[in-house]
Amino acid sequence: MKTSPPGTVDEYLATMPAPTRAKLEGIRQTIHEVAPETTEKIAYGIPTFVLHGNLVHFAGHENHIGFYPGASGVRA
């Protein structure tokens, strides 16, 4: 049986093992601290922070965490 993809960042994080979730929560907190005006959404199936377009995405994987800045994040 296939499950639905997460619709929110909280739902996404809930699918992660505890150690990965803790690291992703730390990244999430840091993003909100340095760019408090961002909003969150799920895009491409992963957490995305939006500020005048997609600012940055992150994801938990089996053996690593991915951090994917968008064009505006790279410029900044």
What residues contact 34, with CB distance under 8 A and at least 6 apart? none
- Residue 2 covered by a domain: no
pLDDT band at 2 (very low <50, low <70, confident <90, very high): low
- Residue 4 covered by a domain: no
Q: What's the CATH code of the domain at 38? A: 3.90.1150.200
Average pLDDT over residues 56-65: 93
- Residue 40 covered by a domain: yes
Cβ–Cβ < 8 Å for 29, 38: no
Range of the structural domain that residue 18 is part of: 9-75
- Residue 50 covered by a domain: yes
- Residue 51 covered by a domain: yes
- What confidence tens digit (pLDDT) does each residue in 4-45 have? 889 999 999 999 999 999 999 999 999 999 999 999 999 999
Structure tokens at 69: 């800045």
pTM: 0.87
